[in-house]
Structure 1
Amino acid sequence: MKLLLLGATGRVGRELLRLALADGHDVVALVRSLEKMESVCRELERDARSNASLTIRQGDARSREDVGRALLGVDAVLCSLNTDGGTALSASMTVIVDAMQELGVRRIVTVGTAGILQSRLEPHLLRYRSSETRRTSTAAAEDHERTYHLLAASSLDWTLVCPTYLPEGPATGQYRVEREVLPEGGSRITTGDTAEFTYRQLTRDDFSKCRVGIAE
């Protein structure tokens, strides 16, 4: 399978890249910083993970030209882009969704935040708008919410993985997932487990066209 990976230099994105290359997929990584990507490639070499099937393209996910070029010949998209607290994430997803629909690429699995899941205490509200939140600022969650609505309004086959507090850590396989809400009592999930679950959704349809909460 040929994959486009967005956010390859981030904490979850690096793990997604390792998993995809280990399975022998051809990966196109669209990155803004070649310097950061060189660091990721050095890590892959130390881990004895082949990067022979990795194509690196420098560009901006908010650029239709850059995204369109990176999408050519791709079968599916993995996205772990972060928000800048403004509109960077939703601006990128606007371009990604439009380009995918135009080029006929249907499957995208992307990483969001547990804040945009439904609240258990107030089901008519998103978690970050409910009494469940501990956020002092909602700007990042608002950008994630805009991204969610863009996906939901599209014709794509999308899955939005929504982790709670995300410390560095390896994949353990010991986690719980639930459609549209955070698993009860969930308070954390490692970057490794988040990447492992996200990656596995590429070839599954259990959570097609929905948000999925993930926690230990």
Structure 2
Amino acid sequence: MKIMIIGATGMAGSAITKLALERNHTVVAIGRSEEKLAALPANPNLQTKAKDAFDLTLSELQAVDVVVDAMATSPDKAYRHVDLATKLIAQLREQQRPRLLFILGAGSLTTGDDQHLFVHDIESNPANAAFVAIPQNQLAELTFLRTVTNVDWVGISPAANFTAGPATPAQYGHDTLLTNTTGESVTNSGTMAVAVLNELETPKHHQERFTVANQ
């Protein structure tokens, strides 16, 4: 499989890139920094492109089987999550390929007895003001994606704490924030990478979001 990974040098993107190469897929790694792209593990199946994702052409997108949007942004540019999703969808309306996979946030998951959106818990803590725009915009991204019925897309949300780390045994859900037996809500980047590659290799979700967390 030929997989384009947008944000391939970030926490999620680099973990997905590494695992995809280990599973003998061809990876087209997209990033804005040539230096960071050069630091990815050398592999004959790895192609790198130092390019803004917003400049990707339809022909570049259609040259791969799957596009993974793992782009990260600063809080003041969080709207770019929505902008990139809408651009990719607009380019690929009614196209047979590629499939689109979006790494979403945990804010759009529900939690508590009343099943409220987790983003409201994030918003209620003043200490989160510096970054709250990111989960807010990732919620808007998912809200938009749920209106799309003529593109093959799937979204994956991590748990409340998305952190760098190796793959662990995982638990899966649909729209509810997951916790382990001790009440922790954590997804390692390695756990996310396994969930992504498993979904790409054996698709189970179409035009919907699911979630993965460490057990």
Fold-level match, TM-score > 0.5?
yes
Shift of 1:186: 4.4
Cross-structure match for 1:48: none
Residue among 92, 95, 98 paired with 1:100: 92
Identity among equivalent positions (%) equals: 25
Alpha-carbon RMSD across the aligned residues, in angstroms, is 2.2
d(CA) in 1 for partners of 2:122, 2:25: 43
Q: Output the CA distance in 2 between the equivalents of 1:175 and 1:133.
A: 29
Counterpart secondary structure, 1:62? helix
Q: CA deviation at 1:153?
A: 1.7
Q: Which residue of 2 aligns with 1:162?
A: 157
Q: Does the Cα contact within 8 Å between 2:37 and 2:50 map onto a contact in 1?
A: no
Distance change >3 Å, CA 20–CA 133, structure 1 → 2: farther
Distance 1:38 1:163, change over 3 A: same
Paired with 1:117 and 1:160, the residues of 2 have a C-alpha distance of 12
Aligned to 2:120: 129
2:153 matches 1:152: no
- Provide the rounded CA distance (Å) in 1 between the counterparts of 2:25 and 2:59: 19
Structure 1: runs of 5+ lacking an equivalent: 46-50
Task: Tell whether the 8 Å contact from 2:64 to 2:98 is kept in structure 1 after alignment.
Answer: no
| More deviation, 93-102/195-204 | 93-102
Q: Is the 8 A contact 2:62 2:98 kept in 1?
A: no
**TM-score under structure 2 length normalisation:** 0.84
1:58: Cα distance to partner?
Answer: 2.0
Contact 1:4 1:70 in 2 (8 A): no
Q: CA deviation at 1:157?
A: 2.3
Question: Scaled by the length of structure 1, what TM-score is found?
Answer: 0.84
Equivalences for 1:81-92 in 2 at 5 Å? 81-85=71-75, 86-92=78-84
Deviations 1:49-69 (A, max 9, x none): xx2122212211223xx2434
Name the structure where strand makes up a greater proportion of residues: 2
Give runs of aligned pairs for residues 46-57 of structure 1, distance below 5 A: 51-57=43-49
Give the C-alpha shift of residue 132 in structure 1: 9.5
Trace 1:3-42 onto structure 2 (pairs within 5 A). 3-40=3-40
Given the alignment, which residue of 59, 62, 80 partners 1:72? 62
Q: Secondary structure at the match of 1:198?
A: helix
